[in-house]
Amino acid sequence: MSKKKKIIVLASMVALLVLTGCLNYFLNRPGSQQANADASVTYSDYFTASRNDRTTSRNETVMYYRSIIDGEATSAEAKANAEAELAALVAGADTEQRLETLIKSLGYSDCIVTVGNEKINVIVKSDSLDEKETAQLLDMVCTETGKSIGHIRVKSIDL
């Protein structure tokens, strides 16, 4: 890859990073809070914001791996590593979406699942989770992912 192309790619990535920061600031600043009828303050939908952040971060990571894969001066080993990481990222996204659909089928109004290299976090919209509900969620995640209970964290949030 020529020096000019590298500069263009780097400048584009910096511009996207700045844009993400600006969007994060404007969407999460104190003025974007809404007061409900009880005069207590609630923030914009946690689950939607989390999904948007996750999507933005994933898109930036995909762009980074694509630039490595498409780079003319990139070694074969670096391309293979980038392709493997990209495949793992896509598989994680698929697992997150599948788990979120299954969890919603249990009757939860919303949830967010994040799949990392070692840990899986599940956050459901609920007043609280009793032992039976927690066990049901853990069993579902274990069955779908093959991970042990020690690698899964389940939490409820009532917004």
| Rounded Cα gap, residues 139 and 103, in angstroms | 11
**pLDDT of 43 higher than 50:** no
How high does pLDDT run on average in the chain? 83
Handedness of CA 17, 23, 27, 31 (dihedral sign): positive
- Nearest C-alpha neighbor of 44 from the set 26, 57, 58: 26
Confidence of residue 42 (pLDDT cuts 50, 70, 90): very low
Handedness of CA 11, 15, 20, 25 (dihedral sign): positive
- Are 121 and 155 in contact by the 8 Å Cβ rule? The answer is yes
pLDDT of residue 30: 57
Q: Could you tell me the two tokens for 16? A: 């996207």
